Amino acid sequence: MDLSTHQPAGGTVYRISAPVIANRSLPGGHRRIRLRAPAIARTARPGQFVNISPPLATTLLRRPLGVHRTIDGQDIEILFQSVGKGTKALGAVGEGDEIDLIGPLGNGFDLAGEPPETAVLVAGGFGLAPLYPLAAALEGKVDRTYLFAGTEEDLPMETSDSSVHLSFVDPDIKATVPEFEAVGAQCRLASLRSRPSFHKGLVTELVEKLLDGPEPLGRTKLYACGPWGMLKKTAAIAAEHELDCDVLLEERMGCGVGACMSCSVMVYGDGGRPVYARACVEGPVFDAASVVWDAK
Ligand SMILES: Cc1cc2nc3c(=O)[nH]c(=O)nc-3n(C[C@H](O)[C@H](O)[C@H](O)COP(=O)(O)OP(=O)(O)OC[C@H]3O[C@@H](n4cnc5c(N)ncnc54)[C@H](O)[C@@H]3O)c2cc1C
Ligand code: FES
């Protein structure tokens, strides 16, 4: 049921009471919840998010969660980790319960214009979830997509060993995410501790191996979502290789609609002067070259 709408620059935003269609538990305290929200399913772009009111008003503020998938123009799926009060309450909802949510919010990834020949997606932890709709949207538009994900815990999506050999990593590094492979992305995973089939080290080392390796890449663009340090390193690699790079900043948010400034990040404004931008309205996706990485 659409409760109300408003129309900011990024498109119509809906407030919806969305029935829960399914709520599935995944390893590592993750959950995948499917909600009936046709207005959002029809309009959400990759990288946009919904601001959810946890059931029974468990928290005063809503919680922002990326739109992980849209299904048949009817439903949206969110994929999240239960880390605190809000996400734990959300994880406890049952089929048929209604969730109050606002969205789609934020700018999302800019997919207008000429696509790159190679898209390299870089994820840290639950940064994987919002990159999935991007990989799906890029399928058929780019020549090749790579997804590199780093994590010390269970990932929010199933993993397995890939049968595809990638020339820039050792043959025993073969952990992959089948859901991303199903939308045409070649994947490899990284962890700082020894894990079978994972690259041992930083996820950004996989990016460097690809960029410095023998695979033909052509015009390449990086897209990243994850912790600040990982994003900063990805931005530095992009700058060093003179590549475009978009970063999705999952800043802590208050209102989610531009009113409270709690999600402010420092970016270079006109003439290179540092200014604050709101991750919920001007973001959450920013050109990595515009972010003042040392401001945190
Ligand atoms: C645009 C956007 C998209 C997001 N998409 C997803 C998603 O698809 N899946 C998902 O699992 N999470 C996502 N998040 C993070 C999610 O919003 C937080 O995990 C959630 O708000 C935590 O609420 P809580 O009440 O459960 O925890 P709280 O009690 O508020 O916090 C519990 C712990 O989580 C940490 N935390 C809270 N928010 C964040 C954050 N933004 N980044 C890092 N740590 C945080 C806190 O510091 C604290 O340690 C997204 C955030 C943003 C801004
Ligand atoms: S969360 Fe309030 S301005 Fe962004």
* 58-86 pLDDT per residue, tens: 788 899 999 999 999 999 999 999 889 99
What proportion of the chain, given as a percentage, has pLDDT over 90? 82
Comparing 126 with 24, the larger pLDDT belongs to 24
Q: Please report the pLDDT score of residue 6 as a whole number.
A: 43
Which phi and psi angles does 108 have, rounded to 5°?
Answer: 75, 175
Q: Alpha helix locations (H) across the chain?
A: 38-43, 85-91, 128-138, 178-181, 203-212, 228-240
Which residue is associated with the tokens 């780019």? 142
Which residue is associated with the tokens 């992959």? 176
The 10 Å Cβ neighbour count of residue 113 is: 6
Res. 2 pLDDT band, cuts 50 70 90: very low
How confident is the model over 136-140, as a mean pLDDT? 96
Q: Comparing 2-6, 247-251, 289-293, which segment has the lowest mean pLDDT? A: 2-6
For the cut 80, the answer to whether the pLDDT of residue 215 exceeds it is: yes
Is the CB–ligand 1 distance for residue 251 below 6 Å?
Answer: yes
Res. 10 pLDDT band, cuts 50 70 90: low
Comparing 56 with 185, the larger pLDDT belongs to 185
Q: Please report the pLDDT score of residue 243 as a whole number.
A: 97
Name the helix (H) or strand (E) containing 222: strand 220-225
Q: Please report the pLDDT score of residue 296 as a whole number.
A: 78
Is the CB–ligand 2 distance for residue 249 below 6 Å?
Answer: no
The 10 Å Cβ neighbour count of residue 262 is: 15
CATH 2.40.30.10 range(s) for the chain read: 2-105
Region at 261 (left for phi over 0; alpha for psi -120 to 50; beta for the rest):
left
Contact 18, 98 (CB under 8 A): yes
**Ligand 1 mean position, distance from CA 225 (Å):** 13
| Ligand 1 atom 50: residue of nearest CA | 65
How confident is the model over 114-134, as a mean pLDDT? 94
Which residue is associated with the tokens 């920013």? 286
Q: Which pLDDT tens digit goes with each residue over 258-288?
A: 999 999 999 999 889 999 999 999 999 999 9
Is the CB–ligand 2 distance for residue 62 below 6 Å?
Answer: no
The domain defined by 2-105 folds into Elongation Factor Tu (Ef-tu); domain 3 (2.40.30)
Pick the atom of ligand 2 nearest to 280's CA.
Answer: 4
Region at 178 (left for phi over 0; alpha for psi -120 to 50; beta for the rest):
alpha
Is the CB–ligand 1 distance for residue 286 below 6 Å?
Answer: no
Max mean pLDDT among 33-37, 61-65, 162-166 falls in 33-37
Res. 154 pLDDT band, cuts 50 70 90: confident
- List C-alpha distances in Å: 145 to 67, 129, 132, 187: 20, 16, 11, 9
Distance, CA of 266 to CA of 278 (rounded, Å): 9
Distance, CA of 72 to CA of 69 (rounded, Å): 10
Q: Please report the pLDDT score of residue 5 as a whole number.
A: 42
Q: Please report the pLDDT score of residue 68 as a whole number.
A: 94
Distance, CA of 266 to CA of 233 (rounded, Å): 17
Ligand nearest to the CA of 106: 1
What would the CATH number be for the domain defined by 118-243?
3.40.50.80
Contact 177, 159 (CB under 8 A): yes
CATH 3.40.50.80 range(s) for the chain read: 118-243
